[in-house]
Amino acid sequence: MNDLQELLLDLQSPAIALELGGLLLCLGLAWWISHMLGRGFSGPSIWFGRRTVDGVLFPALSLVLTYALKLGLLKIQHVPVLKVALPVLVSLVVIRLIARVLASVFPDSNGARAIERVVSWMAWGLAVLWITGWMAPVLDELDGVQIAWGKTHITLLHVLQVVMTSSLVLVVTLWISAALEDRVLRRAVTDLSMRRVLANAMRALLLVLGALFTLSTLGVDLTALSVLGGALGVGLGFGLQKLAANYVSGFVILLERSLRIGDYVRVDGFEGSVSDIKTRYTLLRANNGIESVVPNELLITQRVENLSLENSRMLLTCHFWVGLDADPVLVQGLLVQAALGAPRVLADPGPSALLTEVTPQGLHFSLNFWMDDPSSGQAPVRSGVNLAVLSALRGAKIALGQAPQEMVIKR
């Protein structure tokens, strides 16, 4: 007789009220403890969730208290209600653990939500098999299905055990790394880039240790991994050398702090602010919202212009041609005054206009000026200066000249 059949037979028994009352008492006590412990926490938490009941602590405490109640009541009566409640609570603990950890480590990932849904269906399915008594027959059938791989014979049950154990170790590892990053690194390391490289290194180390622990627990010979390590080294030396170079370059960038999150840079003709530095690539976001994925090797081997100056200033140059009959001194004064009237052009140091070339087509002036906040873009400032200069020259009735053809091609 399974737990569900036993529950249906005992529904008419007066003793079932004691079980129901005890179960409700356990749930209420678990909620009260979780509520009291979670009063000092703000925001979503793995232990307490957003509303106390959707965290890990509430179902875990309910499971412990219900199991203790079951051990106590077994001495005086049958406990079919508690036998059904226990697998439900176990499934709820697993679902809450995986959901909260994935939401904390990958807050905006659609893949994390998909994994959460798959785990939920699997957990509730196992709970149903447990309650209906079909768990043992299903496990026996899975143990009877053998998979031959060369001279190795493994069962489907062993494969599922490896997958489930590895998944549990992975979730716990991510939980530990997220907790260490939030509680230790966030307080000990103020630099965002250094905190990122330490977090990535710590997470990789914990994942490797977790994988080795899982393999050793399941009886896998770890000495066989030396062959895999040699093959991986050969692969890195040939087919994966670019990938390895990007990963190494990512750690070099984070350690040297040559680029930091928030810097405004120009790489291969693309300008944008560094929004994130991954171990393989760096994300640059332009002012128009376009994101560029730049391999880290490119940031190491090629020139990168960091436009984020400490004094938040940047020198720009605009070129103008006027007719040969124009007064150079008057033109210089007009260019300087026009630049000073444009937005975001600094008065200290002030603009300067230089006569750089005299050609049969006209006089060539270079207008140099400093702007602030280069991360907000250069194009609006250039446009403002050009409009102001054009208006000043037209007001003074100074005719524009023509740039030499070779100058136009060069620019």
pTM recorded for the entire structure: 0.51
Provide the pLDDT for residue 63.
92
CATH no., domain 244-306 = 2.30.30.60
The answer to whether the CB of 368 falls within 8 A of the CB of 346 is no
Alpha-carbon distance of 362 to 411, in angstroms, equals: 17
The residue type of 125 is G
**Strand pairing partners for 366?**
319, 354
The DSSP secondary-structure symbol of 323 reads -
Which of 180 and 84 is assigned the larger pLDDT?
Answer: 84
Q: What tens digit of pLDDT does each residue of 193-250 get?
A: 666 667 777 777 777 777 777 767 666 665 655 666 666 666 656 656 777 778 788 7
Task: Indicate whether 4 pLDDT > 50.
Answer: yes
Q: How confident is the model at residue 10 (pLDDT cuts 50, 70, 90)?
A: low
Average pLDDT over all residues of the chain: 79
Q: What is the DSSP string of 355-398?
A: EEEEETTEEEEEEEEEEE-GGG-SHHHHHHHHHHHHHHHHHTTP
| Structure token digits, residue 35 | 């509520």
Domain layout of the chain by residue ranges: 3-133, 244-306, 313-410
* 313-410 to CATH, choices 3.90.700.10, 3.30.70.100, 3.10.20.30, 1.10.10.10: 3.30.70.100
